[in-house]
Structure 1
Amino acid sequence: MWTQKIRNDFDRIALHEQEGWNHNSHYHNFLLKQLPAHCENVLDIGCGTGLFSRLLAKRADRVIAIDLSPKMIEVAKQKSRQHPKIDYQVADILQWEFPVKQFNAIVSIATVHHLPLENLLHNLQTALKPGGKLVILDLLEHESIQDKMSDFLAVPLNWIFQTFKNRHIKQSPEAVAAMKEHLRTDKYVTLSQAQRIYTKSLKGAKVRKHIFWRYSAVWQKSSAIP
């Protein structure tokens, strides 16, 4: 079963996870800038070891942080003992019972490529309060020569950041093998596919390409919706 494979992959990755710089954390500040300065309730889908959940907890009364991997949640709880606002839950988001108009913000980092995105977006829209923000960062597949050209900048920048920001981190062969095994079966959308999916489901959604093989989707639910 596909869900079981993802759970097993991330249980394995969690054993070796080190929270240094990566292609996702590079955009944490960008993602935070898309959110309100203060939120009552925030949902973090695919929270991993809770690095971004802890940043969210600084501006929210409550953060519900969900991950499919029990090991990831175990590590997240260990690292978040000083953050009582975070409610970590082991759950399959496709089976999770979404509350109606509950969240001021919903965020997800490098997770939705594992999910049937169009079905998920309907649930996320329902779960947001009027005026609430949906902010997603995910991986992107090359679509054009222009996309491939962007690698000429991304590759050396990646080396620079890895060298200087992660110089204190040495990945074990087990960690490298665990991530390679997971990435072997990962599939991503192209930019035009992402734009089509988001704008079809969420009127006014803003989808943009970023360096380091990522895209963001930002959408605000109309405050006029009763």
Structure 2
Amino acid sequence: MTLQQRIERERLHGKVIIDTEEDNWGWNKPAGKIRWQRRLNYLSQALEDKHGTVLEIGAGSGTFTVALAEIFSSLTAIDICADLLEIARSKQPSVNLLCMDAHNLTFPNDQFEAIIGCSVLHHLDWDLALQGFFEKLKPGGVIRFSEPNLLNPQIFVQKNVPFVKRYVGDSPDEYAFTVWQIERSLKKAGFSQIKVVPYEFLHPSTPPKFIDTLIKVEKLLSKTWLKHFGGSLMIEAMKPADR
């Protein structure tokens, strides 16, 4: 399968997201709202200067874009699916939303101070995409992504068992990675100050009465080796200032 075929399959998957109204991600559930806020906090802290130039990869229907636009005054957001971007545009007309392939960014080099995204790298040929992100970042610029952790048992099954993958609404080509896989890819692309941290055992379907207890359990697990099996990875890296 060629890269272009993969891109087209991801574009078509955008229609699946629209049809399901993102229900498979559970953002509107009580636990899902907490998970959403965690990711927004992480992405929004990529830059101290909220007037810096920021690129969001995988804007989709604006799940995070709307809130990010209220934080960053110079936000550009891209997605491969024009239909999803129309929904995002209806929510936040002022954002610079562009239909663009994340593997082939058409911006000038050294343009952005931060490139961010949630659950998008694992849809891409991430080695190729990271090379492009590196080129478009200003020296000293940062990337931040929140992505699924392949070591998490649920994620491992979801990404490797075809009928489960279809049932939960994954796109055909998306996968996930481990800490050391993405660290290796970041180093290969030229990034430094790499920090990849597993986190989160709070499932979006957690009943409200158990949420507080599970959050306490999360804090305990984060201090043990079991943290490596958290459902997600916080990924941060910098383009060296001398590049």
In the alignment, the residues of structure 1 paired with residue 128 and residue 11 of structure 2 have an alpha-carbon distance, to the nearest angstrom, of 20
Counterpart of 2:98 (choices 66, 89, 100) is 89
Q: 1:8 matched to which residue of 2?
A: 12
Q: CA deviation at 1:55?
A: 2.4
What is the CA deviation profile of residues 112-169 of structure 1, one whole-angstrom value per residue up to 9, with x for unaligned ones? 1121212221211121112222111111212xxxx55xx7xxxxxxxxxxxxxxxxxx
Q: Give me the TM-score of the superposition, normalised by structure 1.
A: 0.74
Counterpart of 1:194 (choices 182, 193, 203) is 182
The 8 Å contact of residues 122 and 176 in structure 2, kept in 1 or not, is answered as: yes
In the alignment, the residues of structure 2 paired with residue 182 and residue 91 of structure 1 have an alpha-carbon distance, to the nearest angstrom, of 21
In the alignment, the residues of structure 1 paired with residue 167 and residue 81 of structure 2 have an alpha-carbon distance, to the nearest angstrom, of 14
In the alignment, the residues of structure 1 paired with residue 100 and residue 242 of structure 2 have an alpha-carbon distance, to the nearest angstrom, of 32
Counterpart of 2:148 (choices 107, 121, 139) is 139
Structure 2 CA distance for partners of 1:217 and 1:9, relative to 1, 3 Å: same
* Gapped regions of structure 2 (runs ≥ 5): 155-164, 202-230
Q: 2:240 matched to which residue of 1?
A: 222
The 8 Å contact of residues 12 and 178 in structure 1, kept in 2 or not, is answered as: no
Mapping of residues 67-78 of structure 1, within 5 Å: 67-78=79-90
What is the CA deviation profile of residues 187-216 of structure 1, one whole-angstrom value per residue up to 9, with x for unaligned ones? 211222122222333122111111252112
Q: Give me the TM-score of the superposition, normalised by structure 2.
A: 0.69
Give the alignment's Cα RMSD to 1 decimal. 2.5
In the alignment, the residues of structure 1 paired with residue 17 and residue 125 of structure 2 have an alpha-carbon distance, to the nearest angstrom, of 23
In the alignment, the residues of structure 2 paired with residue 196 and residue 93 of structure 1 have an alpha-carbon distance, to the nearest angstrom, of 20
1:5 alignment partner, SS class: helix
* Gapped regions of structure 1 (runs ≥ 5): 152-176
The 8 Å contact of residues 147 and 232 in structure 2, kept in 1 or not, is answered as: yes
Q: 1:158 matched to which residue of 2?
A: none
Counterpart of 1:128 (choices 137, 142, 154) is 137
In the alignment, the residues of structure 1 paired with residue 36 and residue 171 of structure 2 have an alpha-carbon distance, to the nearest angstrom, of 15
Q: CA deviation at 1:89?
A: 1.1
